[in-house]
Structure 1
Amino acid sequence: MTPLAVVLAQAKETAPAAGATQLVVATLLGIAVIVLLITWLHVHPFLALIAGTAVLGIVGGLGPDKTITSFTNGVGSTVGSVGVLIALGAMIGGLLRDSGGADRVVEAVTRRVGPRGMPWALAGLAALVGIPLFFEIGVVLLVPVVVLVAARTRSSVIRIGIPALAGLSVLHGLVPPHPGPLVAISALKADLGLTLLFGLIIAVPTVIIAGPLFGRLASRWVPLSPPSEREAAAVAGRAGGTGDDGEPAGPPEPSGPSGSSGAARVAAAERTGRQVRVSAAVAVMLTPVVLMLLRAIAEVTLADGNPVRSALDVIGEPIVALLVGVVVAMFALGLPSGMSRRGLTDSVGGALPAIAGILLIVAAGGGFKQALVDAGVGTLIGQWAGAAALSPLILGWLVAVAIRVATGSATVATITAAGIVAPLAAGLSPATVALLALAVGAGSLFFSHVNDAGFWLVKEYFGLTVGQTIKSWSVMETIISVVGLLLVLLVSVFV
């Protein structure tokens, strides 16, 4: 018997609601409904996930009543465990944006680095900025900088832009507090501190390979003339936004930084003429990450009951760490930038409407995941994987890859794949479960193409054709996914 089979035999399993064939058909139909609604009819993923859950539950033998119960339970548990964290992370991002802190970090890096080191600097900058910011917000902040740097250094936009996109994408898929990793952690009951630690270890070489190294090669595949200063200004002027997993937004309304809401524009306007320190902005970005890492280190190095460990267990709890990050951002960025108390409130509140769609998708995905669990689909797949001696890390990656390519949504891929492979996590060591969450996250980034809003976002901002976007952005995403899996497997050898 394989080690995986032993683990599954020891795990508490959910009795399947129907036979194996019926459950497989139900799962495929449910996923197919989600895929077709999102890609063909352009239905919002929130509604598509509800419809997919209904098909899964009814065809899979749960029946209407149990399907509704499973879905609502999944929505409630997901919002309770993940929704608050997403909201707090968005608040930190809003304060960074409206105080000008993110802009100051960008300016400081680009002012001190020469043309040769610029791809490396932008990769590191994007990774740093990407810790508290959602991918779309990071793109809006960095694209004008990328194009302007390319114009001033007479470099290819691809060579400068790919490293920045790689830094943002890797952090988005592998490192909390982004929605995808948080959902995987919640579904698999992984330790957030360990996942964060392993995620950062894996993220660094992944960004290097998919960013500066691949960017040099991609600039030869996609030869573009350096933009003029006028073209760079035009790109900065049309930097709008996009909803998570939705269509690219149209031209932005007249607004403040990064297309912020009306309340946030008021908050940003208050800081005119006053700049925050770069060190303060960096400290705000790293505060939640450092607190969660300290908790993970304390759990490994200090005995249970140690007062230092007990204190770090509390302050390193994700919701506490992010809440501390919000408070630090208010005092280190908001007030020094000139915001009033009303301005702070407006900035924090203005960050929430933009994540409403994300929260709904994550919540509906949690309902779909719970229907999978209650129907016994995950248990069935776990049994098959055990019989085939297939590594749970590879299985999680493959499932996420299939759903990502089909739907174009990294969030939907992470949610669905984590729900399917959740039974594999039962009985595995905490380190292996953390790596399983990262394997799912890596799979969710595989080959972004025409059904992904990020694909069109990159295409339009960089002025590429569809073919050029595939040769650069899509290949970069695939490299991130494959390298991420290989590094997950490598780390699993030592833990």
Structure 2
Amino acid sequence: MTPTTLLAAGAPALPHTDSDTQLLLAVLLSIGAIVLLITKLKLHPFLALTLGSGLLAAVAGAPFDKLLTSFSTGFGATVAGVGLLIGLGAMLGKLLADSGGANIVADTVLARSGRRTLPWAMALIAAVLGLPLFFEVGVVLLIPIVLLVARRGNVPLLRLGIPALAGLSVLHGLVPPHPGPLVAVDALKADLGITLALGLLVAVPTLIVAGPLFARVAERWVGPLEIPTTTAPVVAEREKTPRFGAVLATILLPVVLMLGKALADVVIDDPKAPVQRVFDFVGSPLIALLAATLLAMLTLGRAAGFSKDRISQTVGGSLGPIAGIVFIVGAGGGFKQTLIDVGVGNAVSEWSSKWHISALLLGWLIAVLIRLATGSATVATITAAGIVAPLAADMSSTHAALLVLAIGAGSLFFSHVNDAGFWLVKEYFGMSVGQTIKSWSVMETVISVVAIAIIIPLGWVL
């Protein structure tokens, strides 16, 4: 039976026949093409993923009309499930940035920190702000603060910079509502509340090791750095600013609501119970983020003295920059669905069972390889989730959530010259390529390895 027959018939499993070789060749060629198009030809990942999906189906022998159906179905389902959440997260992050709420959090925490505790304070700030902010936005907001504090306190730059970067990166890779974890949750049909709870559980020790502790090592490896003056922050004076408690409550609201839903599912465990139905509604990702965004208009926008028009402009202005992310995520969903429909997922499931490879380790390894090749954590997460999705079909909700985290951890492994984040960090800190590898690249690897070292044992005991 060929992959074409399987696709047309909708067969649920792929037997080990010679067609396995054809499927393996299709996967390798399509991923190789995506890597080549992104890294060498500098093609936008949306186009690269779209073309890679076509190559995958063609080599696997799928008919053209089935390819279009698979890709469009995966694209639409992913954008419908994730795109709204990315948009709401962008709105919340934009209000946080423009209102000065991010600076309020940073100033409040730093004012209560001594020289020795500054690295830990910076990690805490990054973790809190990293919940609603995309990684790149967090870097733009936080690094000028890092430079300013390092200059004023005469503290080595990397001693503060590494904890800040680690806090942003850990949250970006492991904790919803960031795009990568959201896509993996959607692909693996994992419970978002459980994933969030376990993600925070894994994130805390990972951040401690990769942040304040590794900062000391990175500081010795790289040596003293001159604090750049070109990226010094320009702090705008505001007559009105949000209050620290209101900012913190707004940031944490969606987290509390989603965790409350997960707790109600465990404690009450009765879908018909009125209390659980309430928690299921308010704790759904869409409602939780919508509530936080609406609250932010008051606690951040109005508190900063924004007019209604200014708030509307701020919210609207947040959507343009994320259009590319939504299209990349959607194309990744199309590629994922194509992988599933040609039978790759079922083949991987059987290979994993035959070779006795842990699903968590397999998901991590696949994400690592794609991350190294493409430089994109999001592409690595999307592709790895699509490949191992059938493994999650028979998993408990806890183990499906751990598989999401394993993939997320793998997607952070060793950022290097093909990753835009690498150059962003290099330029902000004024480092050479070698210094950036010794600090940023190794820090990303520490995050990935420490996280999977925590996730696999959790799979044994939970």
The one-letter code of the counterpart of 1:156 is: P
Alignment of 1:18-29 (within 5 A): 19-29=19-29
* 1:494 Cα deviation after fit: 2.1
Q: Which moved more, 1:305-314 or 1:142-151?
A: 305-314
The question of 1:109 aligning with 2:109 is answered yes
Aligned to 2:408: 441
Distance 1:133 1:225 in 2: 27
Alignment deviations for residues 38-86 of structure 1 (CA, whole Å, 9 cap, x no partner):
1111111111101111100111111222111111111000001000010
Distance 2:388 2:134 in 1: 26
Contact 2:14 2:347 in 1 (8 A): no
Alignment deviations for residues 154-176 of structure 1 (CA, whole Å, 9 cap, x no partner):
12111110000000000000000
The question of 1:374 aligning with 2:341 is answered yes
Runs of 4+ in 1 over 4 A off after TM superposition: 14-18
The one-letter code of the counterpart of 1:80 is: A
Distance 2:269 2:44 in 1: 48
Please, which runs of 5 or more residues in structure 1 have no aligned partner?
1-11, 240-256, 258-268
Alignment of 1:356-367 (within 5 A): 356-367=323-334
Aligned to 1:253: none
The question of 1:202 aligning with 2:195 is answered no
The counterpart of 1:333, out of the listed 294, 297, 300, is 300
Aligned to 2:257: 291
Aligned to 2:186: 186
Distance 1:63 1:309 in 2: 46
Aligned to 1:235: 231
Structure 2 residue matching 1:236: 3-state secondary structure: coil
Alignment deviations for residues 176-195 of structure 1 (CA, whole Å, 9 cap, x no partner):
00000000000000000000
* 1:389 Cα deviation after fit: 0.9
Change (3 A) 1:341 1:381: same
Change (3 A) 1:18 1:196: farther
Distance 2:251 2:321 in 1: 20
Contact 1:155 1:226 in 2 (8 A): no
Alignment deviations for residues 85-113 of structure 1 (CA, whole Å, 9 cap, x no partner):
10011111011111111111111112221
Distance 1:279 1:464 in 2: 36
Aligned to 2:5: none
Q: Percent identity?
A: 58
Alignment deviations for residues 273-331 of structure 1 (CA, whole Å, 9 cap, x no partner):
11110111111110101000000001001140332211111000000000001111011
The question of 1:493 aligning with 2:460 is answered yes
Contact 1:394 1:439 in 2 (8 A): yes
How many equivalent pairs are there? 450
Alignment deviations for residues 379-438 of structure 1 (CA, whole Å, 9 cap, x no partner):
101100001111100000000000000000000000000000001001111100000000
Distance 1:72 1:92 in 2: 29
Aligned to 1:145: 145
Distance 1:483 1:303 in 2: 33
Aligned to 2:7: none
The one-letter code of the counterpart of 2:34 is: I
Aligned to 2:312: 345
Distance 1:445 1:466 in 2: 18
Alignment deviations for residues 190-240 of structure 1 (CA, whole Å, 9 cap, x no partner):
00000000000000000000000000111000112453xxx44x2136x9x
Q: Which moved more, 1:429-438 or 1:334-343?
A: 334-343
The counterpart of 1:465, out of the listed 432, 435, 442, is 432
Contact 2:195 2:402 in 1 (8 A): yes
Distance 1:225 1:373 in 2: 48
Distance 1:411 1:422 in 2: 16
Distance 1:456 1:337 in 2: 33
The one-letter code of the counterpart of 1:300 is: V
Aligned to 1:282: 248
Contact 1:156 1:223 in 2 (8 A): no
The one-letter code of the counterpart of 1:125 is: I
Alignment of 1:50-449 (within 5 A): 50-225=50-225, 227=227, 231-232=228-229, 234-236=230-232, 272-304=238-270, 305-449=272-416
Aligned to 2:441: 474
The question of 1:453 aligning with 2:420 is answered yes
Distance 2:457 2:353 in 1: 21
Alignment deviations for residues 117-160 of structure 1 (CA, whole Å, 9 cap, x no partner):
01000001100000000000000000001111111121211111
Distance 1:482 1:345 in 2: 42
Structure 2 residue matching 1:212: 3-state secondary structure: helix
Change (3 A) 1:55 1:322: same
Contact 2:54 2:67 in 1 (8 A): yes
Contact 1:14 1:374 in 2 (8 A): no
TM-score, reference length from structure 2 = 0.95
TM-score, reference length from structure 1 = 0.89
The one-letter code of the counterpart of 1:279 is: G
Structure 2 residue matching 1:116: 3-state secondary structure: coil
Say what the alpha-carbon RMSD is for the aligned residues.
Answer: 1.6
Structure 1 residue matching 2:231: 3-state secondary structure: helix
Contact 1:18 1:61 in 2 (8 A): no
